[in-house]
Chains A and B, each alone.
Chain A
């Protein structure tokens, strides 16, 4: 046995003494076996793909919708304070024998000289508005020229009435966009005459649509100088000779002044209404749109989260799909596991191989899901239908959830594989 022709292979191996696979090799082994069965790999990922795609698209669309809603409300002016004639705990509307809100309240607020735009008195009532072609019972809002500034009115055509119109109680009217369409269709309204409770008024402007609207859309209303409403259109006098108003609104110039302004107005009105002496409750209510807006966004956020949670259920189902297939795969590959164990794989190597397979399945499915789930929001945003930008947040959340799904649902099959007895695994048929 001394004259061997080939001794090359038998020279001792200079190995590193390290046991088990390094990560690069582990990933290669795992990818090999995923590629070996492409159709099954794809079908396994499908559950995750659908789950992640629905989480991403629902979160994105939900965010877009809630931003659109709060955006519309902030367009109405978050700096706006509105004073109603009611007790705070009863909500808007006349109630009981309380002193109505009148022009003297308005003048008292005006006299404080606050850093505000307005105040603007508003008197609303219903009346029939008749155009040559159609007539309609509509809300008539008597107000002053400052209304346009406080409520950030933009005109579609024509102009808003002026201070002079208000002082002179001019027979002019500004129509909301929906009301204009009802009365005049697509035709020109400015310059035409409408009759409000039979009083002829000239249309001098049409407001652009504001949409949304917190409290009865202005789009359906006709705006007239408050003096006209008080003197010619409606009976507005109180028993003590004052002129009633429905609300008084104003907008603060700087948002941070809103609390202070609210307090000053409250004090002034309490003084005027002699409520301080006996410590009565306020008989008026000051509403701040910013606080309304924040409760609104709480609701929309809740809705978005709710939608995403429902979509999350399909992600869970996808995870169970992965677990199912991995369990089958472990059974199918029992012999391979036995072989790898026999030639020196540690049980940790087998555990990691199957874990990596599950994680690759879920992460890859997650990526595909993010791409698919982003298509609808991106198309809607690009075409300008709906502004729903895909946020990094939704991508990160859904990818980490799918990673966690892979780890969670992969661990059981992987442990089963790692704990197989090599002898029995080799004999497995």
Chain B
């Protein structure tokens, strides 16, 4: 459950103040599959960083599962990220010399989950994304789509409240993009995962159940997506 009220973010670059967010209101319930859209410079990346607890707003309120994130210090933000969030990046961001299993286990290292449990959850997560037979493969032995599946397994292994995917198909061809989006959709429906994707492509956003458009730092449209792909 995410509650954002009147969130603003101002960056100071030299003498220029950049108003990246100018008062965003947004509520995301658990189990939702939502796409945040907007052109570059709209503030969608800033909003994603805020939701991802990578940064704190200049003013306004952000509550994630009842935790008031806006007032947390750096260490507390790390602890919230470790437990509440799973990240999926455009460039997969896998550690190149580590196996798929080790990559999926990595985030759990930072929250005191014991070794056996870590390995078990990593394996289950990899099976869930269809990579159960590639546990020992290194990223350079996997295709782009497979790497992104490993990255998704990494995001969900710790059972976060929210999976935050930043242009998850940006580096993939259209067939693989479809596979990945179908998988995210399936994970959302079957596992009741809350998924937020940030994208500028409307056919990728079309997989989500709700599409929020942001422009010039404010939410301009927020609608149910009636014709989502099946």
Contact = CB atoms under 8 A, between A and B. Distances in A.
Contact of A19 (B54, B112, B117, B154): B112
A19 B128 contact: no
Interface residues of A, number: 40
A25 B106 CA distance: 10
Contacts of A335: 93
Contacts of B107: 343-344
Contact of B106 (A11, A340, A422): A340
Interface string B74-107: 1100110111000101000101011000000011
A14 B109 contact: no
A340 B103 CA distance: 11
B121 interface: yes
Contact of B111 (A11, A19, A348): A19
A343 B112 contact: no
Contacts of A17: 112
A113 interface: no
Given A4-B190, A8-B124, A13-B121, A346 B110 contact: yes
Given A4-B190, A9-B124, A344 B82 contact: yes
B78 A19 contact: yes
B159 A19 contact: no
Interface string A388-429: 000000000000000000000000000000000011001000
A349 B79 CA distance: 12
Contact of A20 (B98, B110, B113): B110
Given A13-B113, A336-B95, A343 B191 contact: no
A90 interface: no
A425 to B, nearest CB: 10
A79 to B, nearest CB: 69
A339 B125 CA distance: 19
Contacts of B106: 340, 343
Given A9-B121, A9-B128, A426-B89, A19 B79 contact: yes
Contact of A10 (B93, B110, B192): B192
B97 A21 contact: no
Given A342-B81, A344-B107, A13 B159 contact: yes
Contacts of A339: 89, 93, 95
A342 B79 contact: no
B31 interface: yes
Contacts of A25: 109
A262 to B, nearest CB: 73
A347 B191 contact: no
- Chain B, interface size category, equals 35 or more
A307 to B, nearest CB: 43
Interface in A62-86: none
Nearest to A347: B74
Interface string B22-41: 00000000010000000000
Contacts of A22: 112
Interface in B145-159: 154, 156-159
Contacts of A336: 95
Contact of A21 (B98, B109, B156): B109
Contact of A13 (B52, B158, B192): B158
A269 B75 CA distance: 85
B95 A343 contact: no
A347 B75 CA distance: 7
A372 B224 CA distance: 72
A46 to B, nearest CB: 23
A343 B113 contact: no
Nearest to B78: A346
A278 interface: no
Contacts of B158: 13
A423 B49 contact: yes
Contact of A342 (B87, B112, B117, B159): B87
B156 A36 contact: no
Interface string B157-179: 11100000000000000000000
Contact of B191 (A9, A341, A344): A9
A342 B80 CA distance: 10
Interface centre among A20, A32, A342 (most CB of B within 10 A): A342
Interface in B14-64: 31, 49, 52, 54-55
B193 interface: yes
Which 4 pairs from chain A and chain B are nearest by CB? A344-B82, A18-B112, A343-B107, A16-B112
Interface of B: 31, 49, 52, 54-55, 74-75, 78-79, 81-83, 87, 89, 93, 95, 97-98, 106-114, 117, 121, 124-125, 128, 154, 156-159, 189-193
Given A9-B125, A36-B97, A347-B74, 10 more contacts: A4-B191, A10-B159, A15-B112, A21-B109, A22-B112, A25-B109, A335-B93, A341-B78, A342-B87, A344-B83
13 contacts: A1-B31, A5-B190, A7-B191, A13-B111, A15-B111, A22-B112, A32-B97, A342-B87, A343-B107, A344-B110, A345-B78, A346-B75, A346-B110
Interface of A: 1, 4-22, 25, 29, 32, 36, 335-336, 339-349, 422-423, 426
